[in-house]
Amino acid sequence: MLSDLRTFLGAWLTSPAKVGAVTPSSQALARRMVRGLSPAAGESIVEFGPGTGPFTRQIQEALADPSCYLGIEREERFVSLLRTRFPALRFSTSSAEEAPRLVKEAGLERVTAVVCGLPFASLPPRIQDGVINALDELLGPGCEFRTFQ
């Protein structure tokens, strides 16, 4: 946990606009955010802004098939860390605004949940709009969007 805090704080200090939060989310919050998610065969979970992976760890436990997950993270240091921690999961170094294209490229079937760790309040309005547009494309009937502020 201390190494995650150092990694997160270091990334925030060098790129505060890119990272947006000062510390990673707690495990208690992660458990609450993911509680009850259990995608069936052919259903996928997309995570916006996994950071150092507290939500990712909980999502991984809920997955029957790790190939039905896609994490989208802008900070390259976090993506490298995530790929080491969760080698069975797929991560993209990109923006959540690109989610519909990334989901399609990954060959994921029906997205049933988007778990979001993005700090919306600190994002520029044009990025907020881009993320909302991406959600409009991704979210279908019965899909869940989970976030916190």
Note the pTM of the prediction, 2 decimals: 0.84
Q: Which domain holds residue 26?
A: 2-146
Region of 94 (left: φ > 0; alpha: ψ -120 to 50; beta: rest) is beta
pLDDT value of position 123? 86
What's 29's domain CATH number? 3.40.50.150
C-alpha angle with apex 132: 97 to 23, nearest 5 degrees?
70
pLDDT value of position 105? 97
pLDDT value of position 5? 55
Helix axes 54-62, 27-34, angle to 10 degrees: 40
**Confidence band, pLDDT 50/70/90 cuts, at residue 72:** very high
Give the pLDDT confidence of 13-66 residue by residue, as tens digits. 565 555 555 455 678 888 999 999 989 888 999 999 999 999 999 999 999 899
Tokens standing for residue 67: 């190939």
Structural domain count of the chain: 1
Taking 3-state DSSP, the helix, strand and coil percentages for the chain, each rounded to the nearest 5, stand at 50, 15, 35
Is the pLDDT score of 137 beyond 90?
yes
Query: Average pLDDT of the chain?
Result: 87
Tokens standing for residue 58: 């909980």
pLDDT value of position 100? 98
